[in-house]
Structure 1
Amino acid sequence: MPDNMNRTTENELAEAVLSILALRKSGEGEFSNLFKLIPKILTLTDEDMAQSDSRPAEHVWQQRVRNITSHKNADGNYINAGFLEEIDGGLKLTDAGRARAKPV
């Protein structure tokens, strides 16, 4: 459910990441690959598709996926909560994340 600005929330995007990574034995995914797959499982809004102010080469939703890493110390963040780990250029599913992941 989009937020008050009609954007997919960071947690909704993180849940999509969990679902995608759970399909992989390694549980790993590069951001570039996640960017190809997330639109196949989430309906993104026009606001999600807007150009990011801070990353002009990306859409807002892509920036928000990267925010999973940049906001890793924030309460409620999926890295901070132990569901994901930061890896070079992407994310890795933890055992807790695999247990939480919903099938796509």
Structure 2
Amino acid sequence: MSIDFVQKIKDAELQAEQIIQTAERDAKSKIEHTNRELTKQLETVRVEAEERVRAAKIDADNKSDQNLEQSLANLTLPEISSEEKNQAADQVLEGIVNLLGNS
């Protein structure tokens, strides 16, 4: 009876070892599968983030260009008064007279 009992213990230990090995293999397989899935998800999120960044840069460039165009469109040349025009004309005529007088 003790030999049979010892054999049953050995068989139970062997069975327990096999169960542990199977559980370890299953756990390792699940971990590898989860790792692959998470890696795929991470890559997808990374690609989406890069696309959003690219789109944001394009939008920022377009808005910057639009703002610049709007600013340029809003620029107005300063008005030159008729008095300033007359002074400029007088200076030009004075310069011509001086040139003719010096020749």
The TM-score, its normalising length taken from structure 1, stands at 0.19
Higher gyration radius (CA)? 2
The answer to which structure has the higher helix fraction is 2
The answer to which structure has the higher strand fraction is 1
